[in-house]
Amino acid sequence: MSTTTLASSAGPAAPVITATGLTKSYDGRTVLDGIDLSIAEGSVFALLGPNGAGKTTVVKILSTLIGADAGDLRVGGHDLAADPQAVRAAIGVTGQFSAVDGLITGEENMLLMADLHHLTRARGRRTAAELLARFDLVDAARKPVSTYSGGMKRRLDLAMTLVGDPRIIFLDEPTTGLDPRSRHSMWQIIRALVAGGVTVFLTTQYLEEADQLADRVAVLHNGRIAAQGTPEELKRLVPGGHVRLRFDDPAAYRSAALALDEVTRDDEGLSLRMPSDGSQRELRSVLDRLDSAGIEADELTVHTPDLDDVFFALTSSTHAPASKETAR
Ligand SMILES: Nc1ncnc2c1ncn2[C@@H]1O[C@H](COP(=O)(O)OP(=O)(O)OP(=O)(O)O)[C@@H](O)[C@H]1O
């Protein structure tokens, strides 16, 4: 399987996380088979993959919790192999290996974290109070964490990570198991972090989450990156995109059906549907043809496949992304 890499439309920003040839095996079984990643500073990068694809392994390696077998890895300007201490100082990690202690209160957890970061007592208290307020945990601050809801625990976990003011944050499945309201509140928190210039590397099983948050998405499958690009670029990789034109005037509808190629007609609904990748170039050509025939559509909608379509197409065993190589 080869990698499909698409040019991003965003301007180039310095990469703050890079992996080249990242390889990892467990008991002779290859989990990561030489993957390459490059994540721009101040962006959100989402690593998607089916269960067991190796997402957590990537996060553990990049956050220095476990070693890679091979690969050139740099995080926050530091070489992971040569200077793991500097990497640790630059990053925050939350997720499946959370540091939250359920037996003590939220505030005590925060103060413990402040101690770990060698903040003075006064500064630690101030930072803890600020973060507890920012994460809507003031009322719960003096209660044992074991009484918190899943969403509150995740917020506390992230608040604890922010005590050290990291510029790079790894979030391993930050919203798994949360209800929709808590998930949306976590998304808001992540967006606010990014607005403040933080780089976020997240793994998720929710394609909607990647779609909502990520500037770039990579799909991990069979130890390789099957495809990466912006959510919009990835959606164009799978067939199913189309443009739909609807008309009020039956005469205009009939003229349009003659003027355009490859249309599927809906005579009752006075609408025409044609395959399209949703790109500006294709849309312009449709509109130019209508213009030169003097026809105006009353409604134009573009349907691009969602990330679910992409994910299933890329991670089904029959799919060969090499055939989808796209140069745009
Ligand atoms: N310490 C370990 N020893 C042996 N095998 C391991 C170890 N840790 C992970 N694995 C295996 O490596 C593979 C990748 O695991 P990993 O947890 O990175 O996947 P994941 O994509 O994060 O999955 P999930 O979405 O289920 O969390 C799995 O097959 C897992 O069983």
Summarised one tens digit per residue, pLDDT across range 278-293 is 788 888 989 999 999 9
* Confidence at residue 9, expressed as pLDDT on a 0 to 100 scale: 47
Is 2 a residue whose pLDDT tops 50? no
Which of 192, 148, 167, 187 shows the shortest CA–CA distance to 40?
Answer: 167
β-pair partners for 216: 45
**CB of 52 sitting under 6 A from ligand 1:** yes
Ligand 1 centre to CA of 177 (Å) is 19
Query: Is residue 123 pLDDT above 70, yes or no?
Result: yes
Q: What is the reported pLDDT for 282?
A: 85
> In this predicted complex, what is the ipTM?
0.95
Q: Is the pLDDT of residue 1 over 90?
A: no
CA 51 to ligand 1 centroid distance, Å: 8
pLDDT given at position 12: 58
Counted residue by residue, the chain has a size of 328
Ligand 1, from 22, 33, 51, 56: best to mutate by most atoms within 8 Å of Cβ?
56
pLDDT score for 233: 87
Mean pLDDT of 215-244: 87
Domains, in order of start, for the chain = 4-235 (3.40.50.300), 242-298 (3.30.70)
pLDDT for res 126: 96
- pLDDT at residue 305 above 50? yes
**Region 31-39: what's the mean pLDDT?**
96
12 C-alpha vs ligand 1 centroid, how far in Å?
33
Cα separation, 148 vs 154, whole angstroms: 10
pLDDT at 170: 95
Q: What is the pLDDT of residue 321?
A: 38
Distance 204 CA to ligand 1 centre (A): 14
- Please tell me the distance from the alpha carbon of residue 295 to that of residue 305, in angstroms, as a whole number: 28
Across the range 105-119, mean pLDDT stands at 94
CB of 55 closer than 6 A to ligand 1? yes
Q: What average pLDDT does the structure give for the chain?
A: 87
- Ligand 1 geometric centre to CA of 28 (Å): 13
CA-closest residue to ligand 1 atom 16: 54
- Which element (helix H / strand E) includes 183? helix 180-195
Measured in angstroms, how far is the CA atom of residue 26 from the centroid of ligand 1? Answer: 9
How far apart CA 8 and CA 198 sit, in angstroms, is: 20
pLDDT for res 175: 87
Q: Ligand 1 centre and the CA of 302: distance in Å? A: 39
What atom of ligand 1 comes closest to residue 66's alpha carbon? 1
User: What 3-state DSSP class applies to 221?
Assistant: strand
The rounded Å distance from CA 158 to ligand 1 centre is 23
**Ligand 1: nearest atom to the Cα of 96:** 27
Q: Tell the residue number behind the tokens 């009939």, with chain if given.
A: 254
DSSP state of 9: S
Q: Which atom of ligand 1 is nearest to the CA of 59?
A: 18
Residue located nearest, by CA, to atom 30 of ligand 1: 52
Atom 31 of ligand 1, residue of closest alpha carbon: 52
Q: How many C-alpha atoms does 99 have within 13 Å on its Cβ side?
A: 19
Distance CA(11)–CA(99), nearest Å, equals 36
Tokens 């080869």 sit at which residue? 2
Q: Which residues of 70-83 are buried (b: 16+ CB within 10 A; e: fewer)?
A: ebebbbbebebeeb
The whole-model pTM stands at 0.77
Work out the pLDDT band at 105, boundaries 50, 70, 90. Answer: very high
Average pLDDT (45-66) is 92
Render pLDDT for 137-186 as a digit per residue (tens, 0 to 9): 999 999 999 999 988 998 999 999 999 999 999 999 888 888 888 889 88
- For the Cβ of 53 lying below 6 angstroms from any atom of ligand 1, the answer is yes
* Residue 153 CB–ligand 1 contact under 6 Å: no
